[in-house]
Amino acid sequence: MKNKEHTRQVGDTVVKKFKAGFGFKKISQALNIPRSTVQAILLKWKEYQTTANLPRPGRPSKLSAHTRRRLIRDAAKRPMITLDELQRSTAEVGDSVHRTTISRILHKSGLYGRVARRKPFLKDIHKKCRLKFATSHLGDTPNMWKKVLWSDETKIELFGNNAKRYVWRKSNTAHHPEHTIPTVKHGGGSIMVWACFSSAGTGKMVKIDGKMDGAKYRTILEENLMESAKDLRLGRRFVFQQDNDPKHKAKSTMEWFNNKHIQLLEWPSQSPDLNPIENLWKELKTAVHKCSPSNLTELELFYSFIYLCLKPEMWQKVAKFKGAEYFRKALYTVTLAILKCL
């Protein structure tokens, strides 16, 4: 049977009468409470200098301190370990607990399950080039970034790629190498497209039939690049961004740019995360797959229609091109992240 807790007023009265010289029996009779209660109140008052109800320690932990430390250590060393694996490892040493118990222990240590970010696989040379690019552009003006025409190819998958991997990590560590999943470009899909955009809105989008090579890429540029720049009113002095794909950097392609007097933005390899168009691809693919296309014909129909219907203000919101602060902050963040990796 649960013992009744008395109010602090009762406790204070007991102490007051005790200080006035009353004995345990008289206090018990005066307040109509058991003598043992009087003794307990006075004992607590002498030890803790209070008559308030003390906080209870709660139910003892099912796991020993050693096992809890081992769980935290395993999750920190192997961020992609699952709760099931941790549960099995504790069971092997004789501690059978529920997954929620393990999760609660990790939460108390500051480790939370988060979806692992997919990041390009970077070698040391890639990191140094990214750092050089980021530091060299930190002082650029907003007007400079408004002149950039961003471009990229992407594959839109029929059923999407929604696979997620959770990692145990602390706050502000999402981009640490051990908390990310290395990726390569175009990791499978159904329809490949090329598109471009600027802070003023979207340019042309082209479906790529068959294998993409240098000749086909130059044809896409010839038929769509200058027209997109004209539609977006970028003027003749715009800057074109493309990644370092071999077909983009081919001698014939570079000669085409020189003949057209098009200025190129020097771009570090393995850096799709620096290109704002990646955000737009995400928005487009999310909208397309909400339509649940069942075949390639529907997929092409949906993405073409959605691309045409996307409002310029939405694109600007995604890219956050208000004074180019988005890109400036992104460069600063990347600079700090790369410095930590070097």
- Going by C-beta distance under 8 Å and a sequence separation of 6 or more, which residues neighbour residue 263? 237, 238, 239, 240
What are the sequence ranges of the domains in the chain? Answer: 8-48, 65-110, 124-163+185-341
- Res 9 pLDDT > 80: yes
Q: Are 297 and 272 in contact (CB under 8 A)?
A: no
pTM: 0.59
Distance between CA 63 and CA 101 in Å, rounded?
Answer: 9
Q: Which residue has the higher pLDDT, 311 or 67?
A: 67
Q: Give the angle subtended at the CA of 252 by the CAs of 246 and 254, to the nearest 5°.
A: 75
Mean predicted confidence (pLDDT) in 301-323:
61
Mean predicted confidence (pLDDT) in 17-24:
90
- Going by C-beta distance under 8 Å and a sequence separation of 6 or more, which residues neighbour residue 301? 293
| Number of separate helices (H) and strands (E) present in the chain | 15, 9
Mean predicted confidence (pLDDT) in 143-169:
80
- Six token digits for residue 293: 């296309």
Mean predicted confidence (pLDDT) in 301-316:
68
Distance between CA 64 and CA 42 in Å, rounded?
Answer: 34
How big, in percent rounded to 5, are the helix, strand and coil portions of the chain? Answer: 50, 15, 35
Give Dmax (Cα) for the chain: 108
- Res 289 pLDDT > 80: no
Amino acid at 113: G
Report pLDDT digits (tens) over 263-273: 999 999 888 88
Best CATH choice for the domain 8-48 from the list 3.90.75, 1.10.10, 2.40.160, 3.30.460: 1.10.10
Report pLDDT digits (tens) over 200-246: 888 999 999 988 999 999 999 999 999 999 999 999 899 999 999 99
- Going by C-beta distance under 8 Å and a sequence separation of 6 or more, which residues neighbour residue 315? 197, 201, 202, 280
Beta strands in 81-179 (DSSP E): 112-115, 117-120, 148-156, 166-169
- Res 337 pLDDT > 80: no
CATH fold of 124-163+185-341:
Nucleotidyltransferase; domain 5 (3.30.420)
Distance between CA 175 and CA 326 in Å, rounded?
Answer: 18
Distance between CA 286 and CA 194 in Å, rounded?
Answer: 17
CA distance readout (Å), 223 to 136, 203, 234:
32, 12, 17
